[in-house]
């Protein structure tokens, strides 16, 4: 049993990961500003744990605040120590993630994603807490010359969001290389997390118009949006639409728990891992699967390609499989069914 600080723990991936950590008996301390989530997520987490008889309210601690506020973070670490639950390790989800918005408002993206991470790392070091799992993204790879992407592929992001992720990875590498021993660092480069917890109690709630395809499909299915625009049917792929590597968010949550345990058992480490299924699906395949498993029609129309898209993106998952001895088990059907169960709950 460990005491884990989860920044951004009420967000989409963070909330599912909290469940996975709690189901394994860990204590969690969530730090979130609620800038893209809200307190009801905690109720959702508790409902899921109650279902599986794993709810122990004493194991969940919530602090409302901003990771850029170093003295606030210091208080969180201090409180945890005073409560005899000193933070053993951190999973760092908190950040901004909309690619388009990052090109329009770069300063806030650098501030939250990079300054926020530096603030957290300062406080971790001051408290001799040196285990961190960081949410990176496949977007750091940039172009699609070398698919499937291996972790060793060239880092060449072409949007501000991707640059902030690559920068934090670099900062973490510098810390690891600095000879200040004992740092155990993991950067997980997620591909396309979708779906929701099968209970329908937690899931993704994007603010405003979703940029990513899955929440958009869900909103069309629910009637909240009229139609999905499929960005291009003239790509050099079998059905003319782009291929992506979709992974169920519950599988993604599980891999956080497993990787964190892997790090705890190391002396020091700087681990970079792709997290995807390693099996790409086209946009049309995703739509058709959603329609079939949920018995619902998705109104869609082909439109122009989106600037910055690449035709095919998927992970080389060999490193993840061999190091963690773990594979995502949930199918595209599961992702579509569970994501829709959540959407129906909030519609």
- Residues classed as catalytic: 161
Q: Which CB sits closer to ligand UD1, 63 or 246?
A: 246
Two tokens at 340?
A: 């829709």
Q: Which CB sits closer to ligand UD1, 190 or 262?
A: 190
Apex 39 CA angle, 36 and 42, nearest 5: 110
- Binding ligand NAD (rule: CB under 6 A), the pick from 2, 34, 311, 346 is 34
Residues facing 5 on adjacent strands: 29, 90
Closest separation in Å from C-beta 333 to ligand UD1: 18
Residues 276-315 that bind ligand UD1 (CB under 6 A): 283, 306, 308-309, 313
- Quick one: which segment of 45-53, 74-82, 92-100, 219-227 binds ligand NAD (CB under 6 A)? 92-100
Give the CA distances from residue 206 to residues 67, 114, 138, in Å, rounded to whole numbers and listed in that order.
20, 22, 20
* Burial zone of 44 (CB within 10 Å; 0-12 exposed, 13-18 middle, 19+ buried): buried
Q: Which residue has the tokens 């118009």?
A: 209
Helix H segments across the chain? 12-23, 40-51, 70-82, 99-104, 106-109, 116-126, 160-177, 213-221, 249-264, 283-294, 318-324, 332-346
Q: Does 229 interact with ligand UD1 (rule: CB under 6 A)?
A: yes
Length of the chain: 347
- Binding ligand UD1 (rule: CB under 6 A), the pick from 80, 113, 119, 139 is 139
CA-based R_g, the chain, Å: 19
Q: Does 35 interact with ligand NAD (rule: CB under 6 A)?
A: yes
Closest separation in Å from C-beta 21 to ligand UD1: 22
Closest separation in Å from C-beta 314 to ligand NAD: 14
Q: Which residues bind ligand UD1 (CB under 6 A)?
A: 99, 137-139, 161-162, 192, 211-213, 216, 228-231, 242, 244, 283, 306, 308-309, 313
Q: Which residues bind ligand NAD (CB under 6 A)?
A: 8, 10-14, 31-37, 66-68, 93-95, 97, 112, 116, 135, 137, 190, 193
């Amino acid at each position: 049993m460990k005491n884990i600080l989860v920044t951004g723990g009420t967000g989409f991936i963070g909330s599912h990961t909290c469940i996975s950590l709690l189901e394994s008996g860990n204590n969690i301390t969530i730090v979130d500003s609620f800038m893209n989530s809200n307190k009801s997520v905690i109720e959702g987490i508790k409902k899921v744990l109650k279902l599986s008889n794993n709810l122990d309210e004493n194991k969940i601690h919530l602090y409302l605040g901003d990771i850029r506020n170093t003295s606030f973070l210091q208080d969180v670490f201090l409180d945890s120590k005073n409560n005899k639950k000193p933070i053993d390790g951190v999973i760092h989800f908190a950040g901004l993630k909309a690619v388009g918005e990052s090109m329009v408002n770069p300063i806030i993206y650098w501030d939250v994603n990079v300054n926020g991470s530096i603030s957290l790392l300062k406080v971790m070091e001051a408290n001799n807490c040196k285990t961190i799992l960081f949410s990176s993204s496949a977007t750091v790879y940039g172009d699609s010359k070398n698919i499937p992407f291996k972790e060793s592929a060239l880092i060449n992001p072409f949007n501000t969001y991707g640059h902030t992720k690559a920068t934090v990875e670099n900062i973490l590498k510098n810390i690891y290389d600095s000879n200040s021993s004992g740092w155990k660092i993991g950067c997980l480069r997620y591909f396309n997390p979708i779906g929701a917890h099968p209970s329908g109690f937690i899931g993704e709630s994007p603010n405003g118009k979703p940029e990513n395809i899955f929440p958009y499909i869900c909103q069309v299915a629910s009637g909240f949006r009229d139609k999905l625009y499929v960005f291009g049917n003239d790509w050099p792929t079998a059905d003319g639409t782009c291929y992506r590597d979709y992974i169920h968010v519950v599988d993604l949550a599980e891999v956080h728990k497993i990787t964190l345990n892997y790090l705890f058992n190391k002396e020091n480490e700087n681990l970079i891992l792709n997290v995807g299924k390693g099996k790409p699906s086209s946009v049309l395949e995703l739509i058709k699967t959603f329609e079939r498993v949920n018995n619902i029609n998705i109104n869609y129309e082909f439109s122009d390609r989106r600037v910055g898209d690449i035709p095919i993106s998927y992970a080389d998952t060999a490193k993840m499989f061999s190091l963690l001895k773990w594979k995502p088990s949930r199918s595209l059907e599961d992702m579509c069914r569970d994501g829709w169960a959540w959407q129906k709950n909030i519609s």
